[in-house]
Every structure is written in structure tokens, then in C-alpha cells.
Amino acid sequence: MVMDDNEQHEGVTPGSDGGEVSSDQAQQLKQERDDLYDRLLRKQAEFDNFRKRVERERSEFAQFASAELMKELLNALDSFDLAIRNASGDENTLKGFELIYKQLLDTLGRFGLKPVEARGQMFDPNFHQAVVTEPNNDLAENTVIQEMRRGYLLNGRLLRAAMVSVATRNPS
């Protein structure tokens, strides 16, 4: 029997090379195509996540790369602060030191350095390092009485904890 070109065979589909492909083969090819498409979408999503992670890490690195420099500058700030607290004598010189200190703090603040609030706050071990406890019935227990060394945050992360003295109840 001779077949006409327009006649269709049951379960047979024309292939891309002009040959015929059975319905099982066509189904298998569709499944393979769908699997490859799914893998492609997954790889694109993985690459996109990788790109976002690298960008986030680059941003964090730039934000915190100055942490070591800031730590070194904190020693100079501490010395400056101590000198101002213990200064005596010429009021104009003291005023000048205070202005320079404020200018330095403002400059470092523009780069993300922020002092930790301590005096009068409740003791928080995440931000404060208690080095002394003092009996005090006038303040609530665990209230920071004095700040011996200022603590700092750099872009919201603790760079150095504040060294503080904390109130305790006086046993009666």
C-alpha cells in the first residue's frame, strides 16, 4: 500500500530531519527539553543569588574595612578625652581641645562611628563591659553609674564595648 503525504500514521510524528518520530520518542524529547529548561532556570537563579551575595559581601567589606583603622584611632580619642577631663588651667586652650575633639568625632561619625550610650542606661552585656560594681540605693540595680572608657559602634556593629561601673544594691 502506498501512502499519501497528507495521510497521518497513528502514533507517528514527523521528525526535524524529515524522518518519523514515534509518540514515545516525542514524549521523551519533550521530557528532556522540559528537564533542560528547568535546569537552565535553576542555574540562572543560582547565578543571580551568587551575584547578589557577592555584591552584598563587597558592600559589607567596604563598610567595615575601616574597622582596624577606627580601632587604632579610638586609642587617640581615649587619650584626647582623658586629657580634656583632667585639663586644668587656661579656659581657651581647653575650649580649643574640646572643639578639635568634637570635630574628630563628627568626622569619624560620617564614616559610621557612633558612641555607645552608657551612663544612666541599664547594663547591657552586648554593649557594656562591667569592670566595677558600686553599692548604690539611689539608682536601680544594674544601672551604669560611670563610664571609664567609651564604647563605639561602627555602622551598627559593636566595635568596642564601653568599660563601665554598675550600681548594685547595698545590703542593709
- 6-50 residue pLDDT tens: 444 444 455 555 567 788 999 999 999 999 999 999 999 999 999
Q: For 126-134, what is the mean pLDDT?
A: 93
Number of neighbours of residue 117 by Cβ within 10 angstroms: 16
pLDDT band at 3 (very low <50, low <70, confident <90, very high): very low
Cβ atoms 22, 9 nearer than 8 A? no
pLDDT band at 139 (very low <50, low <70, confident <90, very high): confident
- pTM (2 d.p.): 0.59
What pLDDT is stored for residue 33 in this prediction?
94
Say how many CA atoms lie within 13 Å of 52 toward its Cβ: 6
Give the type of residue at 43: K
pLDDT band at 91 (very low <50, low <70, confident <90, very high): confident
What pLDDT is stored for residue 14 in this prediction?
53
Whole-number Cα distances in Å, 68 to 31, 102, 159, 166: 56, 21, 9, 29
**Domain with residues 67-168, CATH architecture:** Roll (2.30)
Give Cα 67 to chain centroid, integer Å: 13
Share of the chain above pLDDT 70, in %: 87
Q: Is it the case that residue 80 has pLDDT exceeding 90?
A: no
